[in-house]
Amino acid sequence: MAELRCSVYIAPPTPAIRPPPATSTGPWSSISCTLVYSAEEAVLIDTPITVQQTKDLIKWIDHIAPNRKLSYIYITHGHGDHFFGLPLLIQRFPEAVPVATYATVKHMEQQVQEPYFSETWEYRFPGQIHKPFMLQDRWDFQAIDCGHSDTYDSSILWVPDLKLAVCGDVVYGQVHQMLFEANTKAKRQEWIRAIEKIEALKPSYVVPGHRQAEEIDGIWHLASTKKYIEDFENIVQGNPKDVKEVVMKMMDLYPDRFNPNALSLSAMGVFSAPKDA
């Protein structure tokens, strides 16, 4: 399929209210939204968070691939910052079918339940997320399950004709990775195995879920994501005394990565993990 193409829209960083006790505003990392398209049809992988981000994504789709039928919208994993744009996209592209693995759908259902939605997402982005949010009873799609990455039941979408791996949050670019949920050695090792599963596909292009806008979707994101996890693990195994020490040591290794707020949450996860984990 020589006509098959791929473009990536980067929803820019947006301010988010940090959870207590810090109630200040900090950035939310950029979000990758990938469009794979032919002369007639298109598939979108992942959406941004806010109404404005989604409106901008729709304008971009109309610009980069006009007059295509958007047939599917694939969601890589259950974190709300990768699917909250669905209602507006379906309004604009009513023929589009949202698809995800069954496990991802169950995770998505948890994200929109109360009080979790109000206490987590609405708290961070007040009045900026489309409501009400409706989920179908079950979606299913052929994808590659990756297990635990920055959250449980993650997946990637593999496009063999382009040798393209659209990775959601299994892979990160030049931003601090979120290890708050990957807060045990076993979960971090599972994340590394997920990356190795993608490496075995021998992709030519790798789209990370969060990255800086200027980055190219290169295969080096696989090695750099894995190295970040390994370095984080080494620091944790050194029995740091507090969150500040974890952050300081990781910042020494990665001073140029965007969004240290994510790193702070990752460090908090270390000290909230079960003691025997």
CATH 3.40.220.10, domain 5-272, yes or no: no
How much is the pLDDT for 134? 66
How much is the pLDDT for 137? 47
User: What backbone torsions phi and psi does residue 146 show, to the nearest 5 degrees?
Assistant: -120, 0
Q: Tens-of-pLDDT digits for all 277 residues of the chain?
A: 458 999 999 999 999 998 777 667 889 999 999 999 999 999 999 999 999 999 999 999 999 999 999 999 999 999 999 999 999 999 999 999 999 988 999 999 999 999 999 999 999 999 999 987 766 544 544 689 999 999 999 999 999 888 999 999 999 999 999 999 999 999 999 999 999 999 999 999 999 999 999 999 999 999 999 999 999 999 999 999 999 999 999 999 999 999 999 999 999 999 988 776 6
How much is the pLDDT for 135? 65
pLDDT in tens, 5-29: 999 999 999 999 987 776 678 899 9
Give CA angle at 231 (225, 234), nearest 5°: 145
For the chain, give every domain's residue range. Answer: 5-272
